[in-house]
A = this chain, B = another copy of it.
Amino acid sequence: MSESQLTQQNCEACKADAPQIDENELAGLIKQIPDWSVEVRNNIMQLEKVFKFKNFKTAIAFTNLVGDMAENEGHHPALLTEWGKVTITWWSHSIKGLHQNDFICAAKTDRLAS
């Protein structure tokens, strides 16, 4: 699946008993969003990427773009807005880990930045 294929999908409802992606799926999906790193915090796997901007105003404008997309998808990241940069972190709270939804939303975040 390519990044453009990821962006053509929408998040599906993710229940607490939905399976986390397995190692093979992770290996395949992360190739489609190669600039994202996988972080593990409190035993929860997350996708993270820092987006750089020239000042605060353009940074918070991006925060709002990603926020609008998140509302549309019904799936919400952590958005850390600072002067000149925004750090976006996607994971699926209900399963305490990564679901395909997170890769879809990471790819859509890249598209918003481009």
Instruction: Show the binding face of A for B, using Cβ within 8 Å.
Output: 56-57, 60, 63-64, 67, 70-71, 76, 78-83, 93
Contacts and interface: CB of A to CB of B under 8 A. Distances in A.
B60 A56 contact: no
A97 to B, nearest CB: 17
13 contacts: A56-B67, A56-B70, A56-B76, A57-B71, A60-B64, A60-B67, A63-B79, A76-B83, A78-B82, A79-B80, A79-B81, A79-B82, A83-B93
Contacts of A76: 56, 82-83
Q: For chain A, what secondary structure do more than half of its interface residues adopt (helix, strand, loop), or is it mixed?
A: helix
A4 B71 CA distance: 36
Contacts of A67: 56, 60, 81
A77 to B, nearest CB: 8
Interface centre among A57, A70, A80, A93 (most CB of B within 10 A): A80
A57 B64 CA distance: 10
A47 B81 CA distance: 16
A79 B59 CA distance: 11
